[in-house]
Structure 1
Amino acid sequence: MTTADGSRQAPGGTATLAGRRVARIGFGAMQLVHRPRPAAGPDTAMVVLRDAVAKGVNHLDTAQFYGAGACNALIRDALHPFPDDLVLASKVGARDDGAGLVPAQRPEELRAEVEANLVGLGVEQLAVVNLRRLDAPPGLSADGDQVVDLDSQLAELTALRDEGKIGAIGLSNVSPGQLRQALPAGIACVQNAYSVLDRSSEPLLDLCREHGIAWVPFFPLGSAFPGVPKVTEHLAVVKAAASLGVTPAQVGLAWQLAHYAQTLLIPGTSDPAHLDDNIAAGSVRLPSGTVAALDHLAGSLD
Structure 2
Amino acid sequence: MADADARPAKASGTYRIGGDLSVDRLGYGAMQITGPGVWGDPKDPAEAVRVLRRAVELGVTFIDTADSYGPFVSEQLIREALHPYADDLVIATKAGLTRSGPHDWRPVGRPEYLRQQCELSLRHLGLEQIPLYQLHRIDPKVPLADQLGELALLKQEGKIGHIGLSEVSVAEIEAAQAITPIVSVQNLYNVANRQSEEVLEYCERNDLAFIPWFPIATGELAKPGGPLDAIAREHGATPAQLALAWLLRRSPVMLPIPGTSSVAHLEENVAAAQVQLTDDEYAALTKAV
Fold agreement, TM-score > 0.5: yes
Q: In structure 1, what is the equivalent of residue 247 of structure 2? A: 256
Take 1:42 and 1:233, find their aligned partners in 2: how far apart are those partners? 33
Cα deviation, residue 30, structure 1: 0.6
Q: In structure 2, what is the equivalent of residue 297 of structure 1? A: 288
Secondary structure class of the residue paired with 1:187: coil
Count of aligned pairs between the two proteins: 282
Cα deviation, residue 231, structure 1: 5.3
Q: Are the aligned partners of 1:58 and 1:86 in contact in 2 as well (CA < 8 Å)? A: yes
* Cα gap change, 1:209 to 1:61, in 2 (>3 Å): same
Cα deviation, residue 196, structure 1: 1.4
* Cα gap change, 1:30 to 1:12, in 2 (>3 Å): same
Take 1:114 and 1:171, find their aligned partners in 2: how far apart are those partners? 15
Q: In structure 2, what is the equivalent of residue 191 of structure 1? A: 186
* 1:212-223 equivalences in 2 (<5 Å): 212-222=207-217
Question: Which piece of structure 1 moves more, 98-107 or 175-184?
Answer: 98-107
Q: In structure 1, what is the equivalent of residue 262 of structure 2? A: 271
Letter in 1 for 2:17: L
Letter in 2 for 1:55: L
Cα deviation, residue 200, structure 1: 1.2
Cα deviation, residue 257, structure 1: 0.3
Q: In structure 2, what is the equivalent of residue 240 of structure 1? A: 231
Letter in 1 for 2:151: L
Take 1:214 and 1:207, find their aligned partners in 2: how far apart are those partners? 10
Take 1:288 and 1:233, find their aligned partners in 2: how far apart are those partners? 22
Letter in 2 for 1:246: A
Q: Are the aligned partners of 1:40 and 1:270 in contact in 2 as well (CA < 8 Å)? A: no
Q: Are the aligned partners of 1:250 and 1:281 in contact in 2 as well (CA < 8 Å)? A: yes
In the alignment, structure 1 residue 77 sits paired with structure 2 residue 80: yes
* 1:1-302 equivalences in 2 (<5 Å): 3=3, 10-18=10-18, 19-35=20-36, 39-97=42-100, 101-133=105-137, 147-184=141-178, 185-222=180-217, 229=219, 232-233=222-223, 235-298=226-289
Deviations 1:268-293 (A, max 9, x none): 11111111111100000011001111
Take 1:148 and 1:172, find their aligned partners in 2: how far apart are those partners? 16
Take 1:8 and 1:254, find their aligned partners in 2: how far apart are those partners? 13
Question: Which piece of structure 1 moves more, 44-53 or 229-238?
Answer: 229-238
Deviations 1:140-188 (A, max 9, x none): xx6xxx6223222111111110001100000100001011112242111
Q: Are the aligned partners of 1:197 and 1:231 in contact in 2 as well (CA < 8 Å)? A: yes
Q: Taking every aligned residue pair, what percent have the same amino acid on both sides?
A: 41
Give the TM-score taking structure 2 as reference length.
0.90
Q: Are the aligned partners of 1:8 and 1:54 in contact in 2 as well (CA < 8 Å)? A: no
Letter in 2 for 1:127: P
Take 1:66 and 1:118, find their aligned partners in 2: how far apart are those partners? 15
Q: Are the aligned partners of 1:30 and 1:66 in contact in 2 as well (CA < 8 Å)? A: yes
Take 1:7 and 1:267, find their aligned partners in 2: how far apart are those partners? 16
Give the TM-score taking structure 1 as reference length.
0.86
Cα deviation, residue 106, structure 1: 1.6
Take 1:9 and 1:63, find their aligned partners in 2: how far apart are those partners? 22
- Consecutive unaligned residues in structure 1, runs of 5 or more: 135-141, 224-228
- Consecutive unaligned residues in structure 2, runs of 5 or more: none
Q: In structure 2, what is the equivalent of residue 137 of structure 1? A: none
Secondary structure class of the residue paired with 2:135: strand
Letter in 2 for 1:159: L
* Cα gap change, 1:293 to 1:216, in 2 (>3 Å): same
Cα deviation, residue 60, structure 1: 0.7
Question: Which piece of structure 1 moves more, 289-298 or 257-266?
Answer: 289-298
Letter in 2 for 1:125: Q
Q: Are the aligned partners of 2:107 and 2:137 in contact in 1 as well (CA < 8 Å)? A: no
Q: Are the aligned partners of 1:221 and 1:231 in contact in 2 as well (CA < 8 Å)? A: no
Taking only aligned residues, the RMSD between alpha carbons, in angstroms, comes to: 2.4
Take 2:264 and 2:141, find their aligned partners in 1: how far apart are those partners? 42
